[in-house]
Amino acid sequence: MRVIAVLLVVVGGLAALGFARHEERVREQDQLAAIASDLAGRAVGVRCPSFVASLVDTRVEGGRVQFDETGRPARHTDLSPETCKVLRHLDRIDFTCIERGDCGFKEFSAGWAAHTLAHESFHLRGFQDEGVTECYALQNTAFVAERLGVPKQQAQDLQAWLYKRGYPNEPSEYQSPQCYAGGPLDLRPHESRFP
Ligand SMILES: [Zn+2]
């Protein structure tokens, strides 16, 4: 009897833990979906893999959006376990190192996760071309970072830093010759700052 009682406590504990994790994931997805919806201009969803699914997830990309054969995007994006994990605690990353010029890979990959959410959001808005999508995303990374708790100035610095350090190293299909200050893809052509 005592064995069964102990077993029940253990099983109950695991179930409670699983439920808490599930609740946490739902909360995070809702928060990310609100940000993505603002950028997409319509109500869209963001999916983060469950703990078990994340163990078997071997994708290398940070996120994805499916398009159907007519070129219409799905109503949600699937983010990688790593992207979701970083975004969950983005407010704990100190981006003041950008100003000092001594940031490392940790800050870069954290910033890139915020950029990934912006990128997938513009796919959800209807842009399929990677070059166009990426240019719009690079101009909205600060928006995502700020919404996730990064102070305004640090978020702006992050956006400029990723454009300077990340963009030139991307595959050519992600680079658009129209992505420059005052260019056709400049979302704020009247501001001197770019992105
Ligand atoms: Zn893309």
pLDDT of residue 35: 98
pLDDT of residue 57: 72
Q: Structure pTM?
A: 0.91
Q: Which of 163, 165, 122 is nearest to 142 (CA)?
A: 163
Has residue 195 been placed in a domain?
Answer: no
pLDDT of residue 56: 77
Has residue 181 been placed in a domain?
Answer: no
The verdict on whether omega for the bond into residue 49 sits within 30 degrees of 0, i.e. cis, is no
pLDDT of residue 40: 98
Has residue 21 been placed in a domain?
Answer: yes
Residues in the chain where the model's pLDDT stays below 50: none
Has residue 179 been placed in a domain?
Answer: no
Residue 141 CA to residue 192 CA, distance in Å, equals 17
Ligand 1 center from residue 20 Cα (angstroms): 32
Ligand 1 center from residue 95 Cα (angstroms): 25
Ligand 1 center from residue 131 Cα (angstroms): 8
Has residue 183 been placed in a domain?
Answer: no
Has residue 189 been placed in a domain?
Answer: no
Has residue 182 been placed in a domain?
Answer: no
pLDDT of residue 137: 98
Residue 81 CA to residue 77 CA, distance in Å, equals 13
Q: Work out how many domains the chain is built from and give that number.
A: 1
State which H helix or E strand residue 180 sits in. Answer: none
pLDDT of residue 13: 79
Q: Which domain holds residue 100?
A: 2-174
pLDDT of residue 16: 82
How much of the chain is helix, strand and coil, in % rounded to 5? 60, 5, 35
Q: Which one-letter amino acid corresponds to residue 185?
A: L
pLDDT of residue 11: 79
